[in-house]
Structure 1
Amino acid sequence: MKSSLKQCTIKQSVSMSGTGLHTGKPCRIALHPAGCGTGRVFITSDGRIPAHADYLADTRRGTSLKCGSAEVHTVEHLLAALAGLSIDNVEIEISGPELPSADGSALPFVELAESAGRKELSQPACIMQITEPVWVSDGDKYVFAVPWDGFCAAGLISFNHPMIGSQAAGCNITEEFFKKEIAPARTFCTSSEIEMVQSMGLGLGGSDENVIVAYEDRYNVPLRYKNEFVRHKILDLIGDLSLAGGRVKGSITAIKSSHTLNTALTVSIVKQIRERK
Structure 2
Amino acid sequence: ELVIVPIQGKDLPNRERFGKQDPFILFKLGNVSKRNTTDIRGGQRPQWKDDQISILMYQSDAKDATSLYVTCLDEDQKKDDLIGDCVINLAKVLEIGELDDWFELTYKGREAGMLLLQLTYFSHDPKHPTNRMNRVPPVPAHHSGSGAPLRRPINKKPKTEAEKPEVEEEHVDEGPVYKPPVVSEAVTPPTPAIPQVPVVPGAAGYPYGTISGGAPRPLSPSGASTPYGGHHTPQVPPANPYGTPAVPPANPYATPAVPPANPYATPA
Higher helix proportion: 1
Task: Select the structure that is richer in strand.
Answer: 1
TM-score w.r.t. the length of structure 1 is 0.19
Radius of gyration: which is bigger? 2
TM-score by length of 2: 0.20
Q: Which has the higher contact order (CA 8 A, sep 6+)?
A: 1
